Amino acid sequence: MRAIRSPKCFLTVFICAIMALGFISEALAADVKKEILRVGVPTDRCPVFYRDPETDEITGIGADLIYAAAENAGYEAEFVQIKEETLKEALDDEEYDIVMPFGSAISSGTGAASIVSENLIQTPFTLVTEGKHRLPPLNGLKVGMLKSLGGAAETVHQLFPGMEITLYADMAQCVHALHEGEVDALLHNSYVWSYVLQKPSYSYLTVQPSAMFSMDFRAGTLDDPKGREIIDRINRGIAGLADTQVQAIVLDHTSRRLYKYDFNDYLYEYGLVLGLTVLLIISLLIILVMKQRAIHLEQEEKMRYLMDHDALTGIWSLNGFRKRVKEILHSNPDTQYFLSYNNIKNFKFINDSFGMAAGDELLRFWADSSVRMLGENEAIGRIDCDHFVVLREIRGEEKLVEDKDKVLDPVRNYFVDRGKDQKVQICSGVYVLTPDDYEKTDVDRMLDFARVAEKRVRESGRNGFEFYNPKQWERGKRIADILTHFPVAIKSGEFKVWYQPQVDYGTGKIIGAEALGRWNHPKLGWISPTEFVPVLEESGYIFELDRFVWEEVCRNLKRWNEEGVKRSVSVNLSRRDILGDVDIIEHFHELIRKYELSPEQLRIEITESAYVEDSELLIQTTKKLESLGFMVEMDDFGSGYSSLHMLKEVPVDRIKLDFQFLHGKGNAEKSRIILRYVIRMIRSLGMKLIAEGVEDAEQADFLDSLGCKEMQGFCFYKPMPVEEFEKLKFKS
């Protein structure tokens, strides 16, 4: 053998040796590769058996213990989750070499005998209840356990044969059964309890330490030669486990925070806080939205204010004035108004001489003095520069004088009062509103009219004011006088009831009378009902007047009855009385009861036009009045658009033919022909007939020749005060 002499040869030999050593050690390692031991375990028993949340591998106290024991026995344990419902059934599955955990040997699902290892660790079992009450003795206890703990349940049953054990699919069902009282307590491995009871919704469950007991923790398999060999080897491995090692494994798994909150746990734990927070957020959002809305509304309001108001004086702008006038007229349809357009003729001169600021002061002064005079339902606006417009109620001449004294004169003398020799010249145009203006209010049109009148004043070189429609002003003033004074008049005795007798032309005797209202106005003198009745009807006051007249008539009828003279009087009933709130039927009924009259003494006149306008309501009212014994008459027949058809429908007792109307106009011969046929028709229909407005004997004779005997008119008597009427002889 040649000696190795060169260093190069030495290096080669050294590398070869190293390589040879590597091969040898690899071969040795292959020799000691451990045998795989497939261990079937449940995984729903944290911390005994569970899946590591990070690696998803099966781990736990039980897994680590058997792994260590198997390792001591030369196995490498490989864990498989058992797919069977119970360990008992898993024993028959060849997929697992051993199955865990068992407290003792039990027979398999198919009834085969099993064999179990030595005890790996003494596992404490604990009872859990709702609340801390004393439990009955273990032997008579009803206990709930997990179905997958079937093996343990059998062992428990062996230990406590009197214990009634019910198995449930999962912990939620166990807890539900406990809550429903199906079982007295739940039984489980203490390690598992320490995990399960971390669930917030189980926090009310109480551990019963007094009822604790221990059970063995073993691996098992079928009792066959292979099984016995595995168990033998495992037992040797178990014997090699040090106590400290076992305790370390237990500590390792029980000290980990293994329980992970799910959504329901968070909901349970923080539900109240969460709810309150959500409520708080919603409330904040609502407040925010409302605040936003309020700010928005406020801004809108500000915008509207700016648009509707004059920045200099604070009174309405043209825009605002238009709106306000419409509002006022809409809500006060019965108030008489005028609208004035006022202009300072020498405003340019004032500005030039005293400065703009003085001009502005003057405008503010005018606005302020006017505002002080205005009522709630009146308005003033500055529609541009020195042009003021005013909507004012018509309240008679005195008010105009007051306006002049308190507003216009102080404005006129504004500079004079401040020691300057300059009068303010005001030109005003006044437009008095007509009924049309209330129906379709066109403020610009009214302003145009007032402006036209103002222009007339200005161009004539005068100061002062002019009416656009002076007649309307007179009428407006009269209406205002009527309406403002009416409430006083009805109380103060200004109203009187006059009587116009009705006669039988054949005998010449008085057969009745019509009561007519008379008003002696302190300022306007005697006013005709043809003027005040429509005004009162329009303004809704007519019932006040009629009630007064009816009451007066009934009082007199009663007095005459007592004096032994039985009279009948016709009273007028306005269509507005029937349309109002008062039950007219009941009102008349009450009147005759109160004054002890028989109903035929009170005859009720309703105009023909009322029957045309509200026929159905009027027909019903007529029928009801007649059913109470009143006589109902159709007044002013022939004066309106009467239809012959209506005569058939309306159940009145007597027709009052308006002779003046039928006779007074057009071709006299044609009128006579019409009258003749109308009278014949009324009589043929079996209705009574009276002609009113008969002015002379010729007319009376003509009517008589046509068969109309009852008459009322100046030909016989004019309306007269009650004292005069009483003196007349009545038909007995």
Phi, psi for 328 (deg, rounded to 5) = -60, -45
Q: Is 729 exposed, middle or buried (0-12, 13-18, 19+ CB in 10 A)?
A: exposed
Q: Can you tell me the distance from the alpha carbon of 585 to that of 728, in angstroms, rounded to the nearest whole number? A: 31
59 binds, among Mg ion, ligand C2E, none (CB under 5 to 8 A by kind): none
Phi, psi for 511 (deg, rounded to 5) = -110, -5
With respect to ligand C2E, which residue has the nearer C-beta, 394 or 549?
Answer: 549
406 secondary structure, DSSP code: I
3-state SS assignment for residue 699: helix
With respect to ligand C2E, which residue has the nearer C-beta, 199 or 576?
Answer: 576
608 binds, among Mg ion, ligand C2E, none (CB under 5 to 8 A by kind): none
Q: State in angstroms the smallest separation of the CB of 334 from ligand C2E.
A: 17
Q: Contacts by 586-595 with C-beta closer than 8 Å and gap 24+?
A: 587/547, 588/550, 588/625, 588/628, 588/630, 589/628, 591/550, 591/551, 591/554, 592/554, 594/554, 595/554, 595/555, 595/557, 595/558
40 binds, among Mg ion, ligand C2E, none (CB under 5 to 8 A by kind): none
With respect to ligand C2E, which residue has the nearer C-beta, 265 or 544?
Answer: 544
74 secondary structure, DSSP code: T
Q: State in angstroms the smallest separation of the CB of 490 from ligand C2E.
A: 12
Q: Can you tell me the distance from the alpha carbon of 345 to that of 368, in angstroms, rounded to the nearest whole number? A: 20
Q: State in angstroms the smallest separation of the CB of 623 from ligand C2E.
A: 21
First to last CA, the chain: 185
With respect to ligand C2E, which residue has the nearer C-beta, 234 or 569?
Answer: 569
From the centroid of its chain, how far is CA 405? 51
Cβ(488)–Cβ(480) below 8 Å: no
396 binds, among Mg ion, ligand C2E, none (CB under 5 to 8 A by kind): none
Q: State in angstroms the smallest separation of the CB of 314 from ligand C2E.
A: 47
Amino acid found at 394 = I
Q: State in angstroms the smallest separation of the CB of 514 from ligand C2E.
A: 6
With respect to ligand C2E, which residue has the nearer C-beta, 22 or 487?
Answer: 487
85 binds, among Mg ion, ligand C2E, none (CB under 5 to 8 A by kind): none
With respect to ligand C2E, which residue has the nearer C-beta, 156 or 703?
Answer: 703
With respect to ligand C2E, which residue has the nearer C-beta, 454 or 635?
Answer: 635
Q: State in angstroms the smallest separation of the CB of 691 from ligand C2E.
A: 10
662 binds, among Mg ion, ligand C2E, none (CB under 5 to 8 A by kind): none
529 binds, among Mg ion, ligand C2E, none (CB under 5 to 8 A by kind): ligand C2E
Phi-psi region of 387 (alpha: psi -120 to 50; beta: other; left: phi over 0): beta
Q: State in angstroms the smallest separation of the CB of 341 from Mg ion.
A: 44
With respect to ligand C2E, which residue has the nearer C-beta, 216 or 546?
Answer: 546
Q: State in angstroms the smallest separation of the CB of 567 from ligand C2E.
A: 18
546 binds, among Mg ion, ligand C2E, none (CB under 5 to 8 A by kind): ligand C2E
Cβ(89)–Cβ(109) below 8 Å: yes
Pair type for strands 205-215 and 123-130: antiparallel
Q: State in angstroms the smallest separation of the CB of 564 from ligand C2E.
A: 27
Phi-psi region of 707 (alpha: psi -120 to 50; beta: other; left: phi over 0): left
714 binds, among ligand C2E, Mg ion, none (CB under 5 to 8 A by kind): ligand C2E
574 binds, among Mg ion, ligand C2E, none (CB under 5 to 8 A by kind): ligand C2E
Binding site for Mg ion (CB under 5 A): 572, 605, 635-636
**Residues whose CB is less than 8 angstroms from the CB of residue 471 and which lie 6 or more positions away in sequence, other chains included:** none
Q: Can you tell me the distance from the alpha carbon of 75 to that of 69, in angstroms, rounded to the nearest whole number? A: 9
With respect to ligand C2E, which residue has the nearer C-beta, 221 or 574?
Answer: 574
Q: State in angstroms the smallest separation of the CB of 516 from Mg ion.
A: 7
466 binds, among Mg ion, ligand C2E, none (CB under 5 to 8 A by kind): none
Q: State in angstroms the smallest separation of the CB of 503 from Mg ion.
A: 16
Nearest to 360 by CA among 385, 329, 327, 335: 385
With respect to ligand C2E, which residue has the nearer C-beta, 458 or 663?
Answer: 663
The first and second tokens of residue 251, run together, are 């500590």
Q: State in angstroms the smallest separation of the CB of 303 from ligand C2E.
A: 51
Per DSSP, which regions of 582-687 are E strands? 602-607, 631-637, 654-658
Q: Could you count the other beta carbons within 10 Å of the beta carbon of residue 694?
A: 26
Beta bridge partners of 637: 657
Q: Can you tell me the distance from the alpha carbon of 308 to that of 315, in angstroms, rounded to the nearest whole number? A: 9
184 binds, among ligand C2E, Mg ion, none (CB under 5 to 8 A by kind): none
Cβ(429)–Cβ(335) below 8 Å: no
With respect to ligand C2E, which residue has the nearer C-beta, 47 or 719?
Answer: 719
Report the alpha-carbon angle 127-128-130, nearest 5: 145
Nearest to 117 by CA among 132, 134, 101, 141: 101
**Residues whose CB is less than 8 angstroms from the CB of residue 26 and which lie 6 or more positions away in sequence, other chains included:** none
Q: Can you tell me the distance from the alpha carbon of 468 to that of 192, in angstroms, rounded to the nearest whole number? A: 103
Q: State in angstroms the smallest separation of the CB of 349 from ligand C2E.
A: 56
Nearest to 42 by CA among 148, 115, 152: 148
With respect to ligand C2E, which residue has the nearer C-beta, 542 or 682?
Answer: 542
Q: State in angstroms the smallest separation of the CB of 574 from ligand C2E.
A: 4
With respect to ligand C2E, which residue has the nearer C-beta, 529 or 640?
Answer: 529
530 binds, among ligand C2E, Mg ion, none (CB under 5 to 8 A by kind): ligand C2E
Q: State in angstroms the smallest separation of the CB of 593 from ligand C2E.
A: 22
Binding site for ligand C2E (CB under 6 A): 500, 516-517, 528-530, 533, 542, 545-546, 549, 572, 574, 605, 635-636, 660, 692-695, 713-714, 719
With respect to Mg ion, which residue has the nearer C-beta, 126 or 572?
Answer: 572
660 binds, among ligand C2E, Mg ion, none (CB under 5 to 8 A by kind): ligand C2E
Cis peptide before 47 (omega within 30 of 0): yes
Q: Could you count the other beta carbons within 10 Å of the beta carbon of residue 210?
A: 8
With respect to Mg ion, which residue has the nearer C-beta, 143 or 690?
Answer: 690
Per DSSP, which regions of 164-320 are E strands? 164-168, 185-189, 205-215, 218-222
533 binds, among ligand C2E, Mg ion, none (CB under 5 to 8 A by kind): ligand C2E
